């Protein structure tokens, strides 16, 4: 029996290393795609790997040349240092050929000997290769053997004077056994194919999550409670719509309904003219990224937006930096950078849009109603309005023309106060 190698070996080793570390220290390691979660394991193993050049004979592992610059360097720049990214990738099954000193460090931490020493006296059967070849060959040959034995058996019964009815019964039973073995063999092959497809798809999804940093951080309950709920968002993007000559100091209020799912958040954003849908995720403690696009019936993304906000400042009005659009008509629709202001209103209940009422016609706006958990209703009237009519000085200072950054320099796009009265 030989030891496993490559991805299968290192994923098992690192899983056992993290299990033992958790048992010894009482610390819990979150095993996701965030490399920072693996820093302590990487430093622990680096302490072992740094001693490898002098322990080949005593600990039973490959020979490693000494690091000539070790005295001048610190972690993680020494020759045999192991980084948190290497531990993350190897433990998630992304690495097919792990570094030898990483493998030896794991064996030494778990069993007190290197890989060569462990191979001479294996202590964990899960690290040994399983021999599937002989079993597979035997399973494939069984139906043929049974079928081949069928004819001599029935001929012998005929010679012994056994009644033909009994001979036929023997033949039927033998055929049934042969067919059953064929069916079992086919089911085993099908099971192997399905299992292979499952693990291949799982590895593919793990790679995508790692490459695109999907759900890199698991938020705490306090962070979840801080983000989930009903928000209003004020933005000054109407001031960048060159098709509107009366765009000076126009702002618009949106209503955002945020719901938590497994590790991330989804939301609907109700605007004065159109709605957005999207998702949010914590990138790190209290730092949230927001991704959305215009809600439509197409199979394509329209006007994607990206925002960053932080929730650790204990502010009622939270400034948010967004890469967005001016949402102008036709080719005038262009990318802008702008500051928005988020204000949380509460949590729970249900948000619906009010349609086809006299109130819609009278206000020339979109009406959104929030049914609170206690049964109270609150109504929002969403439309472009003048910045100077907002009731709060902080909002007015945050949302003037300086809150917008056009993609290209355009001196006439944002109307300044002094240009109104020459």
Pairwise CA distance, residues 132 & 153, whole Å = 32
Beta pairing class for 265-270 and 384-386: unpaired
| Residue 216 located in a structural domain | no
Q: Report pLDDT for 364.
A: 86
> By three-state DSSP, how is residue 315 classified?
coil
> Which domain covers residue 18, as residue numbers?
6-127
Q: Are residues 24 and 163 in the same domain?
A: no
Q: Are residues 201 and 341 in the same domain?
A: no
The pTM score is 0.55
Of the listed ranges 153-157, 191-195, 361-365, the least confidently predicted one is 153-157
Q: Are 352 and 378 in contact (CB under 8 A)?
A: no
Question: Region 157-174: what's the mean pLDDT?
Answer: 55
Cβ count within 10 A of residue 102: 23
Most confident of the ranges 95-99, 153-157, 251-255? 251-255
Q: Are residues 195 and 252 in the same domain?
A: no
What total of structural domains would you count in the chain? 3
Nearest to 248 by CA among 259, 256, 236, 235: 236
Q: Are residues 15 and 35 in the same domain?
A: yes
Measured CA distances, 39 to 29, 34, 42, 81, 164 (Å): 10, 10, 5, 12, 78
The yes-or-no verdict on residue 140 having pLDDT over 80 is no
Measured CA distances, 419 to 206, 247, 305, 362, 387 (Å): 55, 13, 31, 33, 17
Q: Are residues 239 and 339 in the same domain?
A: yes
Q: Are residues 340 and 229 in the same domain?
A: yes
> Which of 211, 236, 258 is the last residue before a domain boundary?
211
Nearest to 254 by CA among 398, 387, 381: 381
Per-residue pLDDT tens digits for 44-80: 999 999 999 999 989 989 999 988 776 778 888 889 9
State how far Cα 398 lies from the chain centre. Answer: 34
> Which of 127, 151, 186 is the last residue before a domain boundary?
127
| Residue 346 located in a structural domain | yes
Assign 3-state DSSP to the chain and report helix, strand, coil percentages, each to 5: 45, 20, 35
Q: Are residues 278 and 402 in the same domain?
A: yes
137 burial via Cβ count (<10 Å: 0-12, 13-18, 19+): exposed
Residue 174: phi and psi, rounded to 5, are -65, -40
Q: Are residues 207 and 343 in the same domain?
A: no
Q: Are 354 and 367 in contact (CB under 8 A)?
A: yes
If one compares 129 and 133, the residue with the highest pLDDT of the two is: 129
Pairwise CA distance, residues 225 & 348, whole Å = 11
Residue 29: phi and psi, rounded to 5, are -100, 120
| Residue 381 located in a structural domain | yes
**Confidence band, pLDDT 50/70/90 cuts, at residue 209:** confident
Pairwise CA distance, residues 396 & 385, whole Å = 12
Nearest to 280 by CA among 255, 254, 256: 256
What string of DSSP letters covers 3-62? B--HHHHHHHHHHHHHHHHHHHH-PPPP-SS-GGGGHHHHHHHHHHHTTGGG-HHHHT--
- The residue to which tokens 């965030």 are assigned: 34
The yes-or-no verdict on residue 380 having pLDDT over 90 is yes
> Which of 72, 96, 127 is the last residue before a domain boundary?
127
| Residue 422 located in a structural domain | no
**Confidence band, pLDDT 50/70/90 cuts, at residue 206:** confident
Pairwise CA distance, residues 34 & 323, whole Å = 25
CATH of the domain at 333: 2.40.128
Q: Are 322 and 307 in contact (CB under 8 A)?
A: yes
* Six token digits for residue 203: 């590895």
| Residue 382 located in a structural domain | yes
Q: Are residues 242 and 308 in the same domain?
A: yes
The yes-or-no verdict on residue 83 having pLDDT over 60 is yes
Q: Are residues 187 and 281 in the same domain?
A: no
Question: Region 176-204: what's the mean pLDDT?
Answer: 91
| Residue 364 located in a structural domain | yes
Q: What is the DSSP letter of 397?
A: H
Q: Are residues 139 and 162 in the same domain?
A: yes
Q: Are residues 102 and 141 in the same domain?
A: no
| Residue 1 located in a structural domain | no
* Six token digits for residue 60: 């039973």
> How does the average pLDDT of the chain come out, rounded?
87
The yes-or-no verdict on residue 136 having pLDDT over 80 is no
């Amino acid at each position: 029996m030989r030891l496993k190698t490559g991805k299968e070996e290192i994923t098992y080793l690192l899983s056992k290393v993290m299990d033992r570390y958790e048992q010894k220290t009482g610390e819990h390691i979150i095993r996701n795609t965030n490399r920072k979660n693996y820093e302590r394991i990487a430093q622990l193993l680096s302490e072992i790997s740094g001693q490898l050049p002098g322990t080949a004979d005593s600990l039973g592992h490959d020979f490693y040349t000494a690091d000539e610059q070790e005295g001048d360097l610190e972690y993680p720049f020494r020759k045999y240092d192991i980084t948190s990214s290497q531990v993350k990738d190897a433990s998630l099954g992304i690495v097919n050929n792990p570094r030898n000193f990483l493998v030896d460090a794991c064996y030494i931490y778990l069993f007190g000997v290197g890989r060569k020493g462990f191979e001479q006296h294996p202590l964990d059967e899960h690290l040994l290769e399983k021999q599937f070849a002989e079993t597979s060959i035997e399973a494939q040959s069984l139906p043929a053997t049974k079928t081949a034995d069928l004819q001599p058996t029935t001929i012998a019964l005929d010679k012994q004077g056994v009644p033909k009815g009994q001979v036929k019964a023997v033949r039927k039973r033998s055929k049934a056994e042969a067919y059953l073995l064929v069916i079992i063999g086919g089911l085993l092959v099908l099971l192997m194919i399905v299992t292979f497809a499952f693990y291949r798809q799982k590895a593919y999804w793990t790679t995508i999550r790692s490459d695109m940093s999907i759900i890199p951080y698991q938020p705490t309950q306090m962070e979840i409670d801080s983000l989930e709920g009903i928000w209003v968002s004020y933005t000054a993007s109407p001031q960048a719509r060159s098709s509107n000559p009366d765009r000076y100091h126009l702002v618009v209020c949106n209503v955002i309904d945020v719901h938590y799912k497994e590790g991330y958040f989804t939301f609907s954003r109700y605007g004065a003219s159109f709605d957005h849908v999207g998702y949010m995720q914590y990138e790190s403690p209290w730092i949230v990224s927001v991704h959305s696009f215009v809600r439509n019936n197409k199979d394509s993304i329209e006007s994607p937006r990206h925002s960053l906000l932080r929730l650790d400042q204990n502010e009622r009005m939270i400034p948010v930096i967004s890469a967005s659009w001016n949402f102008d008509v036709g080719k005038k629709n262009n990318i802008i950078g702008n500051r928005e202001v988020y204000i949380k209103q509460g949590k729970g209940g249900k948000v619906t849009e009010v349609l086809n009422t006299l109130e819609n016609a009278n206000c020339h706006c979109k009406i959104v109603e929030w049914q609170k958990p206690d049964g109270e209703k609150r109504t929002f009237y969403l439309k472009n309005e003048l910045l100077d009519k907002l009731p709060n000085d902080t909002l007015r200072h945050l949302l003037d023309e300086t809150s917008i950054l056009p993609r290209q320099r355009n001196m006439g796009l944002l109307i300044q106060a002094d240009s109104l009265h020459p």
